[in-house]
Amino acid sequence: MIATVTLNPALDKSIYIDRLHPNDANRILRVEVDAGGKGINASRVLKELGSETIALGFVGGKIGSFIEHALKGEGIPTDFVHVNSDTRTNVCIQEMTGSPPTMLNEPGPTISEADFDQLFDKVREVAKKSSFVIFGGSLPPGVPKDIYQLFVKVVQDSDSKAILDSEGEPMRMGMKSIPYMIKPNREEAERLVNLRVKNVGEAVRAANILLGIGVKVVVISMGADGAVAGSANEMWQAVPPKVTPVSTIGSGDSMVAGIAHILDKGGSLGEALKWGTAAGAATAMTDGTEICKHRQVQELVGKVRLERLS
């Protein structure tokens, strides 16, 4: 089983308009709502690909209930901690011009020490039954910056493998416990190693620096340029086929899920990167917060260009 932990889930609301006119009335063409958050997106993709998964995290109020109901409707078990305040809503304004969306993200509910302790116990128990535990996303108010550092240690103590996909100080502190795998994007990798990461060679250099810390697998995603994945013994580059991106929301989470799905089945790192790249590209082809479908991913896997790097 592959568990996911989303500390700051959201109701993702995508609003589609012809063109955004600031300080003026805008007519909405359509609205889509869905359960969102890095771990939640990963669980949805894992389920779609055929992996057993369970989603953990904090939820509250009517929005939290909506998220639980949506996941259970997709056949995804949940074990959330219920908090007193409402789960946040994130708004994505997508212009039909194809320009990048405008994101409006709420901070999320304040988490109490009792809430944190309850989730800590749940993660400890689920890690004992999971091969991988995926942690991802921003932190809600009240959660200590070192929470991923604590969670990664709990997973390791349970002989499971932690995958971390966050940014900023929570990511830096989480890496102190040496997670099994991290997946920064190009910009996040630059901040982690304090070096430029604009091409494959620079991504390989950054990956090697991060591997030197002790992380077993480093994946650096680079959008349409694909991704680089490395371990102590091998380094791979995967380039997706040319697709028409509709929305990149959830693409990185889909990549993490695709990689974990294959690694959990005993597949190689190269094969895992290939599936992760295909899953990310397939999700980019979908509207708003929709995720990839298994059929799409299978079609794209054979079109991903995989190269072993020296």
Tell me: pLDDT of 172 over 70.
yes
Model confidence at 147, pLDDT cuts 50, 70, 90, reads very high
- Tell me which of 12, 115, 253, 264 is the catalytic residue: 253
In angstroms, the CA 274 to CA 237 distance is 9
Q: Contacts for 99-102 with beta carbons within 8 Å, 24 or more apart?
A: 101/14, 101/247, 101/249, 102/20
* Residue owning tokens 């091409």: 199
Tell me: pLDDT of 35 over 70.
yes
Q: What pLDDT score was predicted for residue 55?
A: 98
Domains of the chain from N-terminus onward = 1-15+33-179 (3.40.1190.20), 183-310 (3.40.1190.20)
In angstroms, the CA 220 to CA 207 distance is 7
Model confidence at 225, pLDDT cuts 50, 70, 90, reads confident
Q: Contacts for 224-232 with beta carbons within 8 Å, 24 or more apart?
A: 225/199, 225/200, 226/277, 226/304, 226/305, 227/255, 227/273, 227/276, 227/277, 227/280, 228/200, 228/203, 228/204, 228/309, 229/259, 229/269, 229/270, 229/272, 229/273, 229/276, 230/204, 231/269
Model confidence at 194, pLDDT cuts 50, 70, 90, reads very high
Q: What is the pLDDT of residues 78-104, one digit of tens each?
A: 999 999 999 999 999 989 887 888 999
Model confidence at 249, pLDDT cuts 50, 70, 90, reads confident
Instruction: Provide mean pLDDT across the span 232-238.
Output: 96
Tell me: pLDDT of 224 over 80.
no
Annotated catalytic residue 34 = no
Give percent of the chain above pLDDT 90.
87
Q: What pLDDT score was predicted for residue 191?
A: 95
